[in-house]
Structure 1
Amino acid sequence: MSKFHVSITPEPDSVSSATAHQQNSSSLPYTTASARTVNHLNMSSKHNKYSVLLPTYNERDNLPIITWLLTKTFQEHDLDYEIIIIDDNSPDGTLEIAKQLQKAYGENRVVLRPRAGKLGLGTAYIHGIQNATGNFIIIMDADMSHHPKAIPEFIRKQKENDYDIVTGTRYAAGGGVYGWDLRRKLTSRVANFMADLLLNPGVSDLTGSFRLYKKDVLHQIINATVSKGYVFQMEMMVRAKQFNYSVAEVPITFVDRVYGESKLGANEIAGYLKGLWSLFTSV
């Protein structure tokens, strides 16, 4: 029997009281979990360490904010962590900002692993894994599209059935997208629909990039993945099914970047369609 299956849990804010949610959302960028949830994570995650991989390119404005939010989240829940910044020689000075953040938070918490140029998302993850000391890996965007407040729920969900992967989904109850125009929403929906129709991956958000992996699981999946660009995230879920890894989903809210420009263009869309067809004919 295949081990691969998907479980969906509500987004973190949906389990909070209405009053607490209103107070937090109106005054803080971070939603504090209840003491019971914090204690649960403390006890169950005592011997775990979480390595966050942040590939960056021209993210000097977003990097300080996401680093602060990540640090706050892990400290609030008493979790061991490190943030690995993999900058691909950003011309906007992202690496210089990263060096300042390392001085502020410490070399054991902010780890810099820059590269000579834009070498692709897959190789960035490989580079990050090689330098990660955690037994769990979190991948997410550095542009503030993914809020770290979901991470404790990812961890809680993973422990329910010792899942190999927990992936965020915009397309289950409780999830959503903010800041996209109709064209971008339709593009994402069509991309996921086509992938689901052709590949039947068993997850509702195949192109998402906010996930929690067991380190050895991610290492095997990446080594088997051959796609580049935006198809890379999709193929990783296809490979997860191929290897019979167990997957759970957590609804997330995706917010379009505030600073900088989207890296999704016509070339990326064409590459996605080509990669989708390649997976369909080869996997």
Structure 2
Amino acid sequence: MKMGATDNFYSIILPTYNERENLPLIIWLIIEAFTKLNEKFEVIIVDDGSPDGTQDAAKQLQAIYGEDKIQLRPRAKKLGLGSAYIHGIQFATGNFIIIMDADLSHHPRHIPQFIKKQRESSCDVVTGTRYRGNGGVAGWDLKRKFISVTANYVTQTLLNPGVSDLTGSFRLYRKEVLVDLISRCTSKGYVFQMEMMCLARSSGYTIDEVPIAFVDRVYGESKLGAGEIIQFAKGLMKLFATT
């Protein structure tokens, strides 16, 4: 899907923790997508002190693709997803920011669809959805699918957010919109994405959706556990009481 160059510049923020094996492939796929688009871009890797050599892999990628295309902006330890975006935004020169996971669960082939959707509707936010059109999930067992569907159903019922996938983390934002929303967001972890959409809706920002295929991580261990599920439930109740 070749769109032709515009004056837009896209900054992709990739929070990482122990993604040494996934990082080279996700970077290659991102670069391939933007090369076909003929659009200007940069990738900002925000690594939270990974002990597995993720930062060494990032430095090797900088040597291959150039530091103008690949920025490494590490932090000393894990400090939360929202703060990772805040950290990355400081170094972002794009007028649009794409956030996505580095574990290959979000395929960069969807990026052209995000950009096309934003141009067509001039919306402020484009969010990926697993629950509309040809969107879906691959690689999850029945238990994980049940948790995901149930969580989404409950959030839709309680919050009426205006988007079909409130917990997704593959999104495109106008930079100034992301800066505004993230400055007012108080949640951490998985609840962060939910609050961002609720804030966007209540602030009058326009949101559109693109169906995506979510694929469970290829290498490494999932970071979703009982603690995150409890955190999600507490965060949902807080959002219900305040939005």
**TM-score between both structures, scaled by the size of structure 2:** 0.99
Partner of 1:112: 72
Mapped partners of 2:121, 2:163: distance in 1: 17
The residue type paired with residue 124 of structure 1 is A
Quote the sequence identity (%).
62
CA offsets per residue over residues 218-275 of structure 1, 9 Å max, x none?
0111111101110000110000001011011000000001100000000000000000
Q: Which residue is equivalent to 1:189?
A: 149
- Mapped partners of 2:57, 2:109: distance in 1: 23
- The secondary structure found in structure 1 opposite 2:172 is strand
The residue aligned with 1:215 is 175
Give the aligned residue type for 1:94.
T
Q: Tell me the residue number matched to 2:39.
A: 79
| Alpha-carbon distance in structure 2 between the residues aligned to 1:273 and 1:71 | 37
Partner of 2:89: 129
Matched residue, 1:142: 102
Quick check: which has more Rg, 1 or 2? 1
What is the letter of the counterpart of residue 197 of structure 2?
M
Structure 1 residue 282 corresponds to structure 2 residue 242: yes
Amino acid at match of 1:265: G
Q: Give the superposed CA RMSD.
A: 0.7
Q: Report what 1:158 is aligned to.
A: 118
Q: Which amino acid aligns with 2:164?
A: S
Mark the runs of 5 or more structure 1 residues left unpaired by the alignment: 1-32
Confirm whether residue 262 of structure 1 aligns to residue 226 of structure 2: no
CA distance in 2, matches of 1:75, 1:159: 18
Distance 1:157 1:73 in 2: 16
Q: 1:69 is paired with a residue of what secondary structure? A: helix
What's the counterpart of residue 103 of structure 1? 63
> Corresponding residue for 1:245?
205
Partner of 1:204: 164
1:173 Cα deviation (Å)? Answer: 1.5
AA aligned opposite 1:135: N
Number of residue pairs aligned between Structure 1 and Structure 2 = 243
Structure 2 partner of 1:26: none
Q: Which residue identity lines up with residue 215 of structure 1 in the other structure?
A: K
Give 2:7's aligned amino acid.
Answer: H
Deviation at 1:53, TM superposition (A): 0.3
Instruction: Return the alpha-carbon distance in structure 2 between the equivalents of residues 221 and 194 of structure 1.
Output: 23
Could you tell me which residue of structure 2 aligns to residue 12 of structure 1?
A: none
Offset of residue 48 of structure 1: 0.4
Corresponding residue of 1:69:
29
SS of residue matched to 1:202: coil
TM-score, scaled relative to structure 1: 0.85
What residue ranges of structure 2 are gaps of 5+ in the alignment? none
For the residue of structure 1 that corresponds to 2:104, the secondary structure is coil
Give the C-alpha shift of residue 76 in structure 1. 1.1
SS in 1 for 2:42: strand
Which residue of structure 1 lines up, in the alignment, with residue 129 of structure 2?
A: 169
How far, CA to CA, are the matches of 1:71 and 1:161 in structure 2? Answer: 25
Q: Which residue of 2 aligns with 1:229?
A: 189
Once the 2 structures are TM-superposed, how far is the Cα of residue 46 of structure 1 from its aligned partner?
1.2
